[in-house]
Structure 1
Amino acid sequence: MIIGTAGHIDHGKTTLVKALTGVDADRLPEEKARGITLDLGYAYAPQADGSVLGFIDVPGHEKLIHNMLAGATGIDFVLLVIAADDGPMPQTREHLELLDLLGLDRGAVALTKCDTVDAARVAEARGEIEALLAGTRLEGSPVFALSATTGEGVPALRAHLDATAAAHRQRRAGFPEHGRFRLAIDRCFTLSGIGTVVTGTAFSGRVGAGDTAIIAPEGNGGHGGLRVRVKSLHVQDRPAQHGQAGDRCALALAGDFEKKDIERGMWVVDPAAAHPLRRFQAELHVPSTQPALKHWTPVHVHLGATDITGRVALLDCTEVGAGGTALAEILLDRETLAVRGDRFVLRDASAQRTIGGGRVLDGFPPSRHKRSPARLALLNALRDDDPATSLRLMAGQSAAGIDLIRFAANWNLGDAAAAALWQQAALRVVRSGDEQIGFAAASWRALGDKLLAALAAEHQRAPDMVGVERERLRRLTLPTLARAAFDALVAELIAAGRLAASRAWLHLPEHQASLSPGDRDLFAVLKPLLDAQPFGPPRVRDVAKASGTAEDVVRQLFRRVARAGELYPVAHDHYFTADAVARLVSLIAELDAENGAARAADLRDIIYHDGGGGRKVAIHILEFFDRIGYTRRVRDEHVVRSSGTGHAWLDN
């Protein structure tokens, strides 16, 4: 269990930690010289069962709130320190307000310096403390009157901390750690013979020696984070093989970086949890002691161990009154990491006053329609700690499906937990490479019905066409539908006998397109001209000239034949036969398998010797396959899409 101190300057926090652990948490020379805590201090106390209590000692000075917050966000238990002679002071109240905003509700009060006052003053101070805690998350916390100097009362507090820690360990044992590893860095230093070491409290997950991790966000304008390897680690100041959520960890790291590349406020995370962000949507609360917070207020955002400037954009109101709660988007001036449930504190632009705080709801907010009723309903659903609540609502709202990778990242779900949630919600999950898209069962059925209805309308509009090209049908069904999801939907409908495919065309099973006898006879005369040069057939004007047929007659005929699926308009007035296109599908698939992509020069070399044209024709052919969705262009190369839709043409 990690215990964090809080309270006014000179109320004896560091002295108390030393009395409890025997360790002086003031580590800096200037702290010892001036007798005040300037930065976070750390101490550890072994327990009888072999476990270790960890203490984070925070500074109490009002100008050092940023350091206090860097330590307070990673603690399990609050030790609020109040001197008996002074009683609650300004920083006592501010620290208590900050602890409330951070959601910390387990703690105790140490009433220190009781050796300097009489019993009446101790009783009076107890009354002041009871009034101070009323209405806060720490209301009802036990108060221990003591003297850290003489030791009186310290054993009782230590016994209470030991018992609370034992219950905390038992509770943790009943709930296995979940989520990906995340640790907020609050120190970075170098040790001789070990190298760079970072310390912090693990927010979630588990890490072990030999694991690969990412330090993010990368500083100095870098992108993607620094990849590191955990050489060894200490947990609660002892060597260990593994650390997990709630532990104070010191990680010795190896990798292509220097100590100067790492600073307080960065995160060490599982590679799958490295999603830097510059805005997030949140539930925001303004303390009852503060004035109203208005839209677009400039702020300092304290999240994890970092302090970032930014602004508050209110979503469901124009200002939040004292004691009020609202939905907001926090826009940051630089990147950080955050997941749903992370707590944060807002201070004013001068960093002199706490003005609000709350918890993250969505780290992947949309850029549009942020204040729509549907969006606000989803944010309200995200307030529920059960991810299934927001998942069900999102699935019902999104006809194009949910990006499940982002959903899992926002909730910091591991693979097993995510898969169980998808199953619990009865989602239809489409997987394509690293992509996962989830659909509610009703939404998936509705998409199938919409696709078939769009196809029926096209058959009625153009009965002489064999069907609709895949990419066009996807747009007619739902333009925002991912190609992988569309291909999965088509495959299911074909397997169910509700849809049919003829080469590149999709159509209803009962639909047939055919040419008139006159068109069939004329095409039989002209087709040999195309077959003679299958990969570089003559254009319409050249076919007309060679056959003595009017150019407009040839053009209209070829359009009707293309509708019937026997010709393909590869370029303007440039038609290839269905057989030639099917052969080109195989050639491009072979080039993709051999080289990872098809290039115009390679295709030109192949088709040139088999009735093909030069590089310009090869480019037209590849661009045609890009348009219809068989390939996708990557710079000057054309890669066969993973769905491999073009291969269906060879089977029909």
Structure 2
Amino acid sequence: MDHIVIGTAGHVDHGKTTLIKVMTGIETDTTVEEKTRGLSINLGFAYMDLPSGKRAGIVDVPGHEKFIKNMMAGLSGIHLILLVIDAGEGVMPQTKEHIDILQMLGIKKYIIVLTKVNTVDEELVELVVEDIQEQLEGTLLEEAPIYKVDSLSGTGINELISKIDEESQKIERSNSLVSPRMHIDRVFSVKGFGTIVTGTLIEGTLHVNDELIIFPKELRTKIRNIQVHEKNVNEASAGMRVALNLANVHVNDLSRGDTLASSGSVQKTWMIDVKAALLPHAENPINLWDRLRLYIGTREVLCRAVPIGVERLEPGEEAFLQLRLEEEIAAKKGDKYILRSYSPMHVIGGGVILDTLPTKHRRFNEHTIETLKTREKGSTSELIADFMNRKEDLLTSMEETASYLGMPQTEVIEYMGEMVKKNQLIKVHQLYMSSLKYEKLKKDITAILDRYHKSFRLRTGITKEELRSRVASNVKSKDFDKLLQLLADEKVIKNHETISLSEFTVTYNKYQLKDKEDIEQKLKKAGFTPPSELELIGDNKERKELIDSLTGKTIVRLDSETVMFKDYYEEAVQKVINFIKQNGKMTLAEFRDMTGSSRKYSMIILECLDKNKITKRVENFRLLY
């Protein structure tokens, strides 16, 4: 990869900032307060070009316990950690806490940097090395190489840079194929430019003029300019440290902890289901309703813990938790997080988000526990089906599914294609539905039609739009048509002008048969000047339902108030087609003379032909559609 992001970690005053200045020439302690106190308070940033030509961005995170919140914010999107330890002091309390955080965030690549080696004798240095190796045993850092340096004299600096370059070759490329996402770690304004935000682009690709959403406030913005290591670029990909000049938002509207992402790519939530591991040296278990501090991305949020499947989470153990948040966050399944105790503040555990769209659970429900296990360890196909089953929307796009899983769209579409072949998913144009939801939809539609037929025995069925409003109001009409056709292919329904159960037929008693014959005779006699529907109904209100049942069979509905005998309608259609073919066009008067109808009914009939796309009106003429 062309860019990597390196983070420093370690106890206060162990030489992180000085080390970075020697390697890069950039001083990351920039404020007067930081210079006066001699320690990093806020995140500092630098960069350097490695011997191979790669550019390494460096995040100098503060080591003082009071500033550990800033330290965790700086670790979002890090590829490689330099764990800095003073040769004269060895492993200190904050060193251990940083190690705990790094492991729980899933960072895999480390270099141990032993600083200030020229200030102590060689024998002590070797004792410190042995102590470090002993204390790191059993952690992700136990195989990490140890480099001895002295920033003031330059001892070991070139060797360290060569090792960083070597490790950079092994770093996996960040996922640039999914929707872009960046946790904001700094917000400020520049005169003449406006609002600037910085962060590490953890997923996707950004371009100048991209329109994005700032979560959780859902503020719309547009990228005016992108800088990567102080140079203007048109594009930035996952893994890069970026500064973005944003349009349409004021600096006071934003804060560190906000997330910049494309619309629909993350979920806003007040509650998350997680797998949590409590550190062995945590002082207390996590009990029901314990108040904790959640750190995710660059954000700190207070929350309450609800253990699932266990009474409490004991030190050194793992369990499922539901975290009820006191502020809304934007997150995705698979995001890593850290937990600290509310007071006094100590890192106590962390883990991974399993679900950003949960409902409140019964704590010891077996189905809930099995579902969480699936979300933790399930196959990609199981996770796709689970995601679709839990969404309120009937249909889901491939893009939304890929974003939820944090996988490239090219991979997800292959899985979904196989699931369609196995009837685990139903494809509806460019959208998908789980087979479970499809079966539920089938059951719901069957029940609605059964009740409808019992209530309106003479109606051929329910209109498509009425049915859609009852079972799938958020599904587009064309997609609902496809679902109805699938049900018709299965012989569940009949899908014609109205929707009915496949076995349903209209049956008439002797009184209805008599009314039916009377209505049809009146329409036959009226020809091209039919009586209004109200005249046909008269005092017998049941005739309304009877007319509806005949519509599409022996009767054609011209408009909301007028019906016509079907034979005369079809004759009118044929007359119009023949006339226009011979003459090129037709007027209202010509149709009236041709059928012997009145102007009023000629207009009604022709407008019905227009609606049915047999003719089209151009000025005062009719042409064939």
Q: TM-score, normalised by structure 1?
A: 0.74
In the alignment, what sits opposite 1:261? 253
* Residue-by-residue CA offset, 1:179-209 (whole Å, 9 max, x unaligned): 1111111112233444332111011001122
| CA distance in structure 2 between the partners assigned to 1:400 and 1:182 by the alignment | 24
The answer for unaligned runs of 5 or more in structure 1 is 219-223, 545-553, 569-576, 586-608, 612-652
Provide closer, same or farther for how the CA distance between residues 130 and 583 of structure 1 changes in structure 2, counting only shifts above 3 A.
farther
Residue 126 of structure 1, CA deviation: 1.2
Question: Conserved in 2, the CA contact under 8 Å of 1:474 and 1:486?
Answer: no
Residue 438 of structure 1, CA deviation: 1.6
Per the alignment, in what secondary structure is the counterpart of residue 271 of structure 1?
Answer: coil
Residue 13 of structure 1, CA deviation: 1.1
Residue 292 of structure 1, CA deviation: 0.9
| CA distance in structure 2 between the partners assigned to 1:580 and 1:351 by the alignment | 78
In the alignment, what sits opposite 2:486? 492
* Residue-by-residue CA offset, 1:575-614 (whole Å, 9 max, x unaligned): xx973666799xxxxxxxxxxxxxxxxxxxxxxx989xxx
Counterpart among 216, 231, 238 of residue 231 in structure 2: 238
Provide closer, same or farther for how the CA distance between residues 16 and 539 of structure 1 changes in structure 2, counting only shifts above 3 A.
farther
Question: Conserved in 1, the CA contact under 8 Å of 2:274 and 2:352?
Answer: yes
In the alignment, what sits opposite 1:364? 357
Residue 125 of structure 1, CA deviation: 0.9
| CA distance in structure 1 between the partners assigned to 2:328 and 2:322 by the alignment | 15
In the alignment, what sits opposite 1:227? 221
Per the alignment, in what secondary structure is the counterpart of residue 482 of structure 2?
Answer: helix
Provide closer, same or farther for how the CA distance between residues 265 and 428 of structure 1 changes in structure 2, counting only shifts above 3 A.
same
Counterpart among 286, 301, 309 of residue 308 in structure 1: 301
In the alignment, what sits opposite 1:165? 168
Residue 48 of structure 1, CA deviation: 2.9
**1:569-580 equivalent positions in 2, closer than 5 A:** 579=557
Per the alignment, in what secondary structure is the counterpart of residue 184 of structure 2?
Answer: strand
Question: Conserved in 2, the CA contact under 8 Å of 1:400 and 1:480?
Answer: no
Provide closer, same or farther for how the CA distance between residues 192 and 385 of structure 1 changes in structure 2, counting only shifts above 3 A.
farther
Counterpart among 303, 310, 330 of residue 317 in structure 1: 310
1:390 aligns with 2:388: no
| CA distance in structure 2 between the partners assigned to 1:2 and 1:505 by the alignment | 59
Per the alignment, in what secondary structure is the counterpart of residue 23 of structure 1?
Answer: coil
Provide closer, same or farther for how the CA distance between residues 469 and 27 of structure 1 changes in structure 2, counting only shifts above 3 A.
same
Residue 424 of structure 1, CA deviation: 3.2
1:211 aligns with 2:210: yes
**1:393-412 equivalent positions in 2, closer than 5 A:** 403-404=396-397, 407-412=401-406
Question: Conserved in 2, the CA contact under 8 Å of 1:364 and 1:410?
Answer: no
In the alignment, what sits opposite 2:337? 344
In the alignment, what sits opposite 1:148? 151
In the alignment, what sits opposite 1:188? 187
* Residue-by-residue CA offset, 1:284-310 (whole Å, 9 max, x unaligned): 111111121112211221111111222
| CA distance in structure 2 between the partners assigned to 1:104 and 1:519 by the alignment | 78
| CA distance in structure 1 between the partners assigned to 2:364 and 2:432 by the alignment | 25
Per the alignment, in what secondary structure is the counterpart of residue 93 of structure 1?
Answer: helix
1:561 aligns with 2:546: yes
In the alignment, what sits opposite 2:242? 249
In the alignment, what sits opposite 2:593? none
| CA distance in structure 2 between the partners assigned to 1:59 and 1:176 by the alignment | 28
Per the alignment, in what secondary structure is the counterpart of residue 170 of structure 2?
Answer: helix
In the alignment, what sits opposite 1:37? 40
Residue 9 of structure 1, CA deviation: 0.8
Residue 7 of structure 1, CA deviation: 1.0
In the alignment, what sits opposite 2:427? 429
Question: Conserved in 1, the CA contact under 8 Å of 2:179 and 2:265?
Answer: yes
In the alignment, what sits opposite 1:355? 348
Question: Conserved in 1, the CA contact under 8 Å of 2:45 and 2:60?
Answer: yes
In the alignment, what sits opposite 1:592? none
Per the alignment, in what secondary structure is the counterpart of residue 167 of structure 1?
Answer: coil
Provide closer, same or farther for how the CA distance between residues 209 and 406 of structure 1 changes in structure 2, counting only shifts above 3 A.
closer
| CA distance in structure 1 between the partners assigned to 2:196 and 2:455 by the alignment | 70
Question: Conserved in 2, the CA contact under 8 Å of 1:101 and 1:356?
Answer: yes
Provide closer, same or farther for how the CA distance between residues 412 and 369 of structure 1 changes in structure 2, counting only shifts above 3 A.
farther
Question: Conserved in 2, the CA contact under 8 Å of 1:399 and 1:447?
Answer: no
In the alignment, what sits opposite 1:89? 92
Which amino acid counterpart does residue 164 of structure 2 have in structure 1?
L
Provide closer, same or farther for how the CA distance between residues 188 and 506 of structure 1 changes in structure 2, counting only shifts above 3 A.
same
| CA distance in structure 2 between the partners assigned to 1:202 and 1:109 by the alignment | 26
Residue 10 of structure 1, CA deviation: 1.2
Residue 462 of structure 1, CA deviation: 8.4
**1:5-84 equivalent positions in 2, closer than 5 A:** 5-84=8-87
Question: Conserved in 1, the CA contact under 8 Å of 2:459 and 2:546?
Answer: no
Question: Conserved in 2, the CA contact under 8 Å of 1:273 and 1:412?
Answer: no
Provide closer, same or farther for how the CA distance between residues 313 and 393 of structure 1 changes in structure 2, counting only shifts above 3 A.
same
Question: Conserved in 1, the CA contact under 8 Å of 2:199 and 2:241?
Answer: yes
Per the alignment, in what secondary structure is the counterpart of residue 169 of structure 2?
Answer: helix
Residue 452 of structure 1, CA deviation: 9.2
* Residue-by-residue CA offset, 1:66-109 (whole Å, 9 max, x unaligned): 11111012211111111122111111111111111111121011
Question: Conserved in 1, the CA contact under 8 Å of 2:179 and 2:204?
Answer: yes
Stretch deviating more after TM superposition (124-133 or 376-385)? 376-385
| CA distance in structure 2 between the partners assigned to 1:352 and 1:399 by the alignment | 38
Which amino acid counterpart does residue 232 of structure 1 have in structure 2?
N
| CA distance in structure 1 between the partners assigned to 2:333 and 2:428 by the alignment | 24
Which amino acid counterpart does residue 430 of structure 1 have in structure 2?
V
* Residue-by-residue CA offset, 1:329-353 (whole Å, 9 max, x unaligned): 2222222211112111111223611
Which amino acid counterpart does residue 190 of structure 1 have in structure 2?
S
Question: Conserved in 2, the CA contact under 8 Å of 1:40 and 1:67?
Answer: yes
* Residue-by-residue CA offset, 1:1-46 (whole Å, 9 max, x unaligned): 1111111111111111112222211111111111111111111111
- Provide the aligned length of Structure 1 versus Structure 2: 548
Provide closer, same or farther for how the CA distance between residues 367 and 448 of structure 1 changes in structure 2, counting only shifts above 3 A.
closer
**1:394-543 equivalent positions in 2, closer than 5 A:** 403-404=396-397, 407-412=401-406, 416-426=410-420, 427-430=425-428, 436-440=431-435, 444=438, 446=439, 450=443, 465=458, 467-469=460-462, 487-494=481-488, 499-501=493-495, 503-508=497-502, 511-525=504-518, 532-534=531-533, 537=534, 543=538
| CA distance in structure 1 between the partners assigned to 2:378 and 2:50 by the alignment | 33
| CA distance in structure 2 between the partners assigned to 1:375 and 1:190 by the alignment | 47
Residue 127 of structure 1, CA deviation: 1.8
Provide closer, same or farther for how the CA distance between residues 400 and 245 of structure 1 changes in structure 2, counting only shifts above 3 A.
closer
Which amino acid counterpart does residue 244 of structure 2 have in structure 1?
L
| CA distance in structure 1 between the partners assigned to 2:312 and 2:536 by the alignment | 67
| CA distance in structure 2 between the partners assigned to 1:396 and 1:276 by the alignment | 19
Question: Conserved in 2, the CA contact under 8 Å of 1:565 and 1:578?
Answer: no
| CA distance in structure 1 between the partners assigned to 2:509 and 2:212 by the alignment | 67
Question: Conserved in 2, the CA contact under 8 Å of 1:73 and 1:343?
Answer: no
Provide closer, same or farther for how the CA distance between residues 176 and 539 of structure 1 changes in structure 2, counting only shifts above 3 A.
same
In the alignment, what sits opposite 2:199? 200
| CA distance in structure 1 between the partners assigned to 2:443 and 2:23 by the alignment | 69
In the alignment, what sits opposite 1:615? none
Q: TM-score, normalised by structure 2?
A: 0.77
Which amino acid counterpart does residue 391 of structure 1 have in structure 2?
I
| CA distance in structure 1 between the partners assigned to 2:349 and 2:600 by the alignment | 73
